Structure 1
Amino acid sequence: MYNTLTRQKEDFHPLNDGVVNMYVCGPTVYNYIHIGNARSAIAFDTIRRYFEFSGYQVNYVSNFTDVDDKMIKAAHEQGITVPELADKYIAAFMEDTTAVNIEPATKHPRATENIPEIITFVSDLIDKGYAYAAAGDVYYRARKFKHYGELSDQSIDDLEVGASQHVDEAEFNKKEDPIDFALWKAAKPGEISWDSPWGPGRPGWHIECSVMSTKYLGDTFDIHGGGQDLAFPHHENEIAQSEAKTGKTFARYWMHNGFVTVGDDNEKMSKSLGNFVTVHDIIKTLDPQILRFLMATTQYRRPIQYSQKNITDATNNLQRIQTAYDNLTYRQKDAQAGSDDQIHQQVLGLVAEFKQAMDDDFNAQNAIAAVYELVKVSNVYAQQATVQQVSVTELQETMAHLMSVFGIILETDQSLDDDKIKALIEQRNQARKDHDFALSDQIRDDLKAQGIVLEDTPQGTRYRKE
């Protein structure tokens, strides 16, 4: 797996055999998540699923940032409190991520649930000389941490030039150095706040993740993940804070997913640019499984272009897999006892190809190619005059198992299996025998209008939901 910190692929060895402890930065809950947020959540859910597929127990922690400047502003605009705003959008997050089949985290901590731990953490950094109070704020001395800038591969001098251009005068006057960053922020009049040794205020953005990740996973854990845009300053600051406090390695492997781009110029999607599309809106008109398929079957470090063409391709490819699965369901009805060793060997080979691809930095694009080959094998086998029960089941269960790594659920829609549809199919078959093709076509068209597609195969007519 590719480690952002070392900028190379490394073999993964967990601290504890058979257990993966991973922390993934969650959303700031002031709005519905856009598909850029969803891309990160889906990418790391897919990685988590592959670890579980490979036999690991995964302790997966992902936070909610439920207090910050954006939330205070949004709550004021909506005329509600910050906690009410957080509850509203955390509920929406859970609804939207459930729709795209993201497993709930082992723990979903909230920043506001950990204020005492955050205050203690900041106090420890002050005691160790890594932080200082200034007029109600507390800042971290970034230059004191000798590894600062290593994750994002930046020099202190370059960071100082950039910081000097972006820090406002009031904050600049409080800081000892322009690159220092806030651990605790003094509250303005009327803002949500908590009492602290430095006066009423609230946590800085970066400190919450250091506190919550180490609280639930220990001072050192296996994997820390998030979007590419979090590498600096967020993750850089997490490392500085955490390792200054504990004296230990914070996270052993750093993983960052690629952006979602939109438009012909491949502009990064973000709320700040105003070019975002929310998952909440997308799934009103698009099957959530299609969005999931598009996101999950792209290697996590690659960018994804959100376009109608890519949505159409994902729709067609997912339908192709589902149809192959349905073909196997149909052949279960007349399968004979026994198994086909040639099919078994082909399945074993394709599963090995799938694993080889995912073992190479979770290369989902190569892994889904192995599934497409399995689809071809399945379709050819399903067309044979005689099929074996064990082989049909093995093909079907393997296809479902591999697709579950991508968070895709394959199942045959049993709601279509009713007497009325079967009677109409029998009526159509009789009409074809009688050369009454007008009636045959009418029945087919009527069923299609109801979303039911007929497929004539050598083994008879089968149907599926469109």
Structure 2
Amino acid sequence: MLTIYNTLTRKKEEFKPLHPGIVNMYVCGPTVYNYIHIGNARSAIAFDTVRRYLEFKGYKVNYVSNFTDVDDKMIKAAAEQGITVPQLAEKYIKAFMADTTAINIEPATLHPRATENITDIIKFVQGLVKKGYAYAVDGDVYYRARKFKDYGQLSGQSIDDLEVGASEHVSADEVNKKEDPMDFALWKAAKPGEISWNSPWGQGRPGWHIECSVMATKYLGETIDIHAGGQDLEFPHHENEIAQSEAETGKKFVRYWMHNGFVTIGKDNEKMSKSLHNFVTVHDLIKEVDPQVLRFFMATTQYRRPIQYSQANLTDAQNNLDHIQTAIDNLTYREQDAENKEDQEVQAKVAAFHDQFIQAMDDDINVQNGITIVYELVKYANIYAQRDKVSLTALQTLKQEIVKLMSIFGVKLVASNNQIDDEQIRQLINERNEARKNKDFARSDEIRDNLKQQGIILEDTPQGTRYKKE
């Protein structure tokens, strides 16, 4: 039974989608004014992994993740770069797709943009005004937060406590316009020269929160199964989405809310963010680090837990991933002398590992326990590959299971094809084997060291000496 921790209820609940066999899932995407940093990537990787596991379980997942392609940050960044807001958006959407492809994130079923949905946004805001949940002031439109009786339910705070925090982020101009400091913008009047659209309230553009309510309900329905994003979006973004959506539709907006933990950095475990200027972009990092390693590093921490970013942790991830890849190579190597027969013991062991993996992952997508099962499977595979006699179907079954389970973490494993077919190297290895037989260990070590300098790594196994490129 799959359970998911629901932020709204603060407990694990059995996952039952609204429509059997189908999951409608919305994940808040980036504001495209810069390259994504690995804190942004954490959310994308975490929920891509959730999606992959749901698909592994047999669900059809309709996965929508938006692009915020107009807001204050984008207007400022475009002006600084001397380009238009749409040009800025195109630049960083293209970069986002390239970076997320590199870390093996599946494209969303749909990547809608705020600017593609202006008509629907205006209509949605009009509906809230008509129902008395919103009001217009000097071209701006604000939502009456206190009118929504359940406001604060997601963040678990009273509206009075939330008001204290909200008042710290409100300009004097906004204070004078709003009926209440808790009210938030649905539509913003345009300043001279800013990108804008015509509306019943004059030239302007959408507020940040309204776009996700509109796109989630437009593309997935008035009630969706899963809405996900970073912990920092719980308030005010997701809190406001609930208020807007349920006021407009009169229906429950989201059945399961999922929020991922932060990426922290430094000895003080400071949250990584652009505002703190302590971020590392995916664009830069994957020039230095194998994207597969970054993916593995972030996908194997349970989504609700924080991730400590450090070179040491990346190195650990590299070593663990190399260990798994080596198991695939060991299994592939033994295929050359395997017997063409069944091995019921291996089939049963693989089935048991498979069931244990599902049991681990069904507990709120607990990837840390899941990867532990994979490590046990890899250990068993390595031991099996050292037997004097092995079954070809058993080797293939082990390899296929490791590859299948690792694909849920978004990691691609293939049988390495880096054996060196060079007669001179073979002759040196034969000479080394002869030297070892004659206990001429000085010559044996000399040959090993010479080959290593050429990038050739030797591995002595019960089935003979293997060699590959470093």
TM-score by length of 1: 0.97
| Separation of aligned partners in 1, 2:274 and 2:29 | 15
The answer for the alignment partner of 2:314 in structure 1 is 311
Cα drift, residue 308 of structure 1: 1.7
| Separation of aligned partners in 2, 1:92 and 1:450 | 37
> Counterpart amino acid of 1:458?
P
Contact 2:432 2:447 in 1 (8 A): no
- Per-residue deviation, residues 216-254 of structure 1 (Å, max 9, x unmatched): 101011000000000000000000000000000111000
Matched, 1:461 2:465: yes
The answer for the alignment partner of 1:398 in structure 2 is 401
The answer for the alignment partner of 2:47 in structure 1 is 44
Cα drift, residue 423 of structure 1: 4.5
Contact 1:297 1:368 in 2 (8 A): yes
- Per-residue deviation, residues 326-351 of structure 1 (Å, max 9, x unmatched): 10010111110112222222111111
**SS of residue in 1 equivalent to 2:141:** strand
Cα drift, residue 426 of structure 1: 3.9
Cα drift, residue 297 of structure 1: 0.5
| Separation of aligned partners in 2, 1:450 and 1:56 | 49
Identity %: 71
The answer for the alignment partner of 1:370 in structure 2 is 373
| Separation of aligned partners in 2, 1:271 and 1:450 | 44
Contact 2:187 2:207 in 1 (8 A): yes
The answer for the alignment partner of 1:32 in structure 2 is 35
The change in CA–CA distance for 1:460 and 1:27 in structure 2 (over 3 A counts) is same
Contact 2:231 2:259 in 1 (8 A): yes
| Separation of aligned partners in 2, 1:451 and 1:53 | 39
RMSD in angstroms over aligned alpha carbons?
1.4
Task: Spell out the pairing of 1:197-236 with structure 2 (5 A cutoff).
Answer: 197-236=200-239
The answer for the alignment partner of 1:152 in structure 2 is 155
Count of residue pairs brought into register by the alignment: 464
The change in CA–CA distance for 1:426 and 1:334 in structure 2 (over 3 A counts) is farther
Contact 2:420 2:467 in 1 (8 A): no
Matched, 1:187 2:190: yes
| Separation of aligned partners in 1, 2:468 and 2:295 | 22
**SS of residue in 2 equivalent to 1:315:** helix
Cα drift, residue 437 of structure 1: 6.0
Cα drift, residue 185 of structure 1: 0.5
Cα drift, residue 430 of structure 1: 2.8
**SS of residue in 2 equivalent to 1:42:** helix
Task: Spell out the pairing of 1:362-441 with structure 2 (5 A cutoff).
Answer: 362-414=365-417, 416-420=418-422, 423-434=424-435, 441=445
> Counterpart amino acid of 1:419?
D
| Separation of aligned partners in 2, 1:390 and 1:265 | 51
| Separation of aligned partners in 1, 2:65 and 2:100 | 13
The answer for the alignment partner of 1:344 in structure 2 is 347
Cα drift, residue 408 of structure 1: 0.5
The answer for the alignment partner of 2:299 in structure 1 is 296
Contact 1:32 1:93 in 2 (8 A): yes
**SS of residue in 1 equivalent to 2:70:** coil
Gaps of 5+ in 1: none
Contact 1:126 1:132 in 2 (8 A): yes
Task: Spell out the pairing of 1:443-458 with structure 2 (5 A cutoff).
Answer: 444-449=448-453, 451-458=455-462
Cα drift, residue 447 of structure 1: 4.4
Matched, 1:126 2:136: no
The answer for the alignment partner of 1:100 in structure 2 is 103
Contact 1:425 1:461 in 2 (8 A): no
| Separation of aligned partners in 1, 2:205 and 2:79 | 17
Contact 2:420 2:469 in 1 (8 A): no
The change in CA–CA distance for 1:450 and 1:282 in structure 2 (over 3 A counts) is farther
| Separation of aligned partners in 1, 2:113 and 2:31 | 10
The answer for the alignment partner of 1:56 in structure 2 is 59
Cα drift, residue 167 of structure 1: 1.0
Contact 2:49 2:409 in 1 (8 A): yes
Cα drift, residue 104 of structure 1: 0.3
